[in-house]
A and B are shown apart, each in its own frame.
Chain A
Amino acid sequence: MAYSDKVIDHYTNPRNVGTLDKSKNNVGTGLVGAPECGDVMRLQIEVDGNNVITDAKFKTFGCGSAIASSSLATEWLKGKSIDDAMTIDNMDIVEELALPPVKIHCSVLAEDAIKAAINDYRVKNGLAPIESEKSHH
């Protein structure tokens, strides 16, 4: 199977690889997927007082498309407000990276990771987690 140039670019030069201090109150961490399924994504956001994401980091265990999806997600998250970040849809990722149908689950995982990170941040700061209307399961 051929990968798109964008997948190869993100895979070869992944953006924002790393770890934020998850003990900090303004850091939200999302860990989704399972080793048995061959994909685990950890996505972290750091949020400032105006609810704007100032930093995002990821680490992913998975195929090239999973790595590219999470790398792209961190790029998109930086500078966005929490509310805007909540609207990122997996199909946006599919389109941007030209993922084939068999790799759509990688984008779903990235969307799940974004939502999980935001909810982790919300819960840490005394807010209720937001239930996703979409169901991919």
Chain B
Amino acid sequence: MKLPVYLDNNATTPMDPRVLEAMLPYFTEKFGNAASRNHAFGWAAEEGVDYAREQVAQLIGASEKEIIFTSGATEGDNLGIKGVFEMYQDKGNHIITTVTEHKAVLDTCKHLEKQGAKVTYLPVKEDGLIDLKELEAAMTPQTILVCIMYGNNEIGVIQPVKEISAIAHKHGALFMTDGTQAVGKIPVNVDADGIDLMAFTGHKMYGPKGVGALYVRRKNPRVKVTAQMDGGGHERGMRSGTLNVAGIVGFGKAAELCRLEMDTEAKRLAAFRDKLQSSLLELEESYVNGNVEHRLPHVANISFKYVEGEGLMMAMKDLAVSSGSACTSASLEPSYVLKSLGLSDDLAHSSIRYGLGRFTTEEEVDYAIEVTKKAVNHLRDLSPLWEMFKEGIDLDKVEWVEH
């Protein structure tokens, strides 16, 4: 086993060597501009893009004409939300989203609020899922878009998208979802799920960084978004800019591999995740964050009470994971996603996200278990809070001297 061990696959995934192999010719031999319609170099590039478009479409049960290539999910979220807001202005100005969305969605919505949009940020329940009744109650005749993520990036919970899209459509609104964490990991089908727009990206599914897609439905209903970048009118006029041919080819290959290997991979990773989780829960005062049934197969977010997340990661220097503690950021605010589950700040500070991936081995999972247990115990030996807890002191009743 090689150290350090990478268990941060929700941040990004390594590229599959088969993806790299598919991309290589497009850097040097087939380097043409896919928009050059008048010579063989352009045709070769266009052929690569067309094939990738089919591969990506197939993964989500879409038609290739419904795939708009972007630079990634952040651009897809921006294009989808801003593009719908501008395109459907005469229908209304109300957007519904949730408090646990990625910043690419939240900050885009905040931006639109300054331009006259009304945005409802739905809270989530303790398990991270939205309450469908609250969604129903939030719908108004002015609601043009419901934008709710498929799988959450921090805790991995999967929102009830079928039910959500049904509610949105009943009230005449479009349904958009940020599929970044879900696509390629679990079956996502735009028709079965009632998705009108969906942003996703290559680098979370063993493809390259800097390439993603926005799915835009073409039939029932035909959805249009206003372009956010002016230029040559690429991607059916919705996203100008010379296509990142090699990236797109890699994204396509990655999508194909995910489609073919998803079932086996999801089963394998879920078994690893369950082993990791049950072993770590043997530690006293450790808790899983988020719903454990409706969850992506490769993520576990666990809080170890009375130890601080960043300190914990430092003790696990050969294990690359992620923490809900924001001690490294200037704001010193812990994760807003964990806080919106109703977690107290100290539990949010104490959380670690384990993200497994295609190349994770059982040996690595065992290593993660061993290292985490050792680190938690070490830090609890150092923790005044652990000592106080063991003495039976109620920490909520202590008057803390905040600084």
Contacts and interface: CB of A to CB of B under 8 A. Distances in A.
A64 B403 contact: no
B314 A14 contact: no
Given A38-B334, A116-B401, A63 B384 contact: no
Given A1-B328, A35-B385, A136-B403, A61 B345 contact: no
B382 A59 contact: yes
Q: How large is the interface on B (under 10, 10 to 19, 20 to 34, 35 or more residues)?
A: 20 to 34
A102 B311 contact: no
Contact of A35 (B315, B349, B403): B349
Given A112-B401, A136-B403, A59 B308 contact: no
Nearest to B305: A35
A108 interface: yes
A63 B314 contact: yes
A36 to B, nearest CB: 4
A33 B311 contact: no
A2 to B, nearest CB: 11
Q: Contact residue range for chain A? A: 20 to 34
B327 interface: yes
A116 B401 CA distance: 10
Interface string A35-48: 11111111000000
Interface string B333-347: 010000000001110
Interface of A: 1, 3, 11, 14, 17, 19, 31-42, 59-64, 66-67, 102, 105, 108-109, 112, 116, 136-137
30 contacts: A1-B328, A14-B382, A17-B381, A33-B400, A34-B401, A34-B402, A34-B403, A35-B346, A35-B349, A35-B400, A36-B344, A36-B345, A36-B402, A37-B403, A38-B325, A38-B327, A38-B346, A39-B308, A41-B384, A59-B383, A59-B384, A61-B307, A61-B311, A61-B379, A61-B382, A61-B385, A63-B314, A64-B314, A102-B328, A112-B403
Interface of B: 306-311, 314-315, 325-330, 332, 334, 344-346, 349, 379, 381-387, 395, 400-403
